Chain A
Amino acid sequence: MEFSRRDTLALGLGAAALTVLPIRALAAADDAIAAFTGGADVAEGGVTLTAPEIAENGNTVPISVEAEGAAEIMVLAMGNPTPGVATFKFGELAGAHSASTRIRLAGTQDVVAIAKMADGSFAKASSTVKVTIGGCGG
């Protein structure tokens, strides 16, 4: 099958339309990161983000974050309609700077954890979670 110029153009427009939403969500994520870091540099590493490689259901995905010496850890789901997940703020009686919870992921995407360290620096970790969508509704 040959693609005509018009077909190709239509495909391109379709693809452009499809990418609008993710771009908007990513912009919201960038805004959330900027608000959290105040635009400061974010180093890779120094944060541990534990998430399954494959989630059986996006409704309840277990995740854990840990960053020694962190004051706060923000978690973002980069592909959700609204990227915010949670911000953990550790108090003076925090035993370890770690926390676990269960989150919703709208589809396969990157989950990002950014830690604000006690010295004011920032560190980041990210993990791709594949979300399977089964056909057996029940």
Chain B
Amino acid sequence: MDTIKSMRWVDFFLYAITDPGALYRQIQKNEPRPLVLSFAVPVFAALTGIIAGSLVGVESRFFYSKLTYGWLLSVVSSLFTIVAAAALMDAFAQFLGYRGNMKEMMALVNFSQLPKIFVLPLVLIFRTIHFAPPFFYVLFSVLVALWSAFIVVKGIAEMHDSGAGRAVIIFLFPYLLAGVTVFLMLVLGVLYLVRYVSG
């Protein structure tokens, strides 16, 4: 209760937006404990993501299913993605000779999702004034994705006291791995399909 009253927990969110380097230093201090709190970000971001997406489309009663079951599904999938990405980044950082710290990496990736929640109010504004909400939804989504990436890269650079280049490589590693995997699966799929059709 004292921790909540002290408002120190707000610093994580504040630094995530204003100074990602300071965010990592705050995570490292472990005061208050950041890991559990950090999971609130993807949970809330999943909800705002669903609502923002629904704002630009034509909705039916399925919207309420999206808001309940869809939200749970989205939270589970984003948590899985975050844990997998953080684990791969941490593993690759260790491969490059840095020390590993999965907990700190996970908290950092979680807090980096914070900018995503801002898509909702921005899209709501453009929907209210009826000014190309789908366009701005895509635009803001791209911008906040870049912002999130920037937070992780700055955090990794601070974490390992490395240059931005190496931090970018560590950050990109899971995505490159996923890309290569998907590409190989596609090649295998096409080969199988060709064999199936010709057979």
Q: Do A and B bind each other?
A: no
A interface, CB within 8 angstroms of B: none
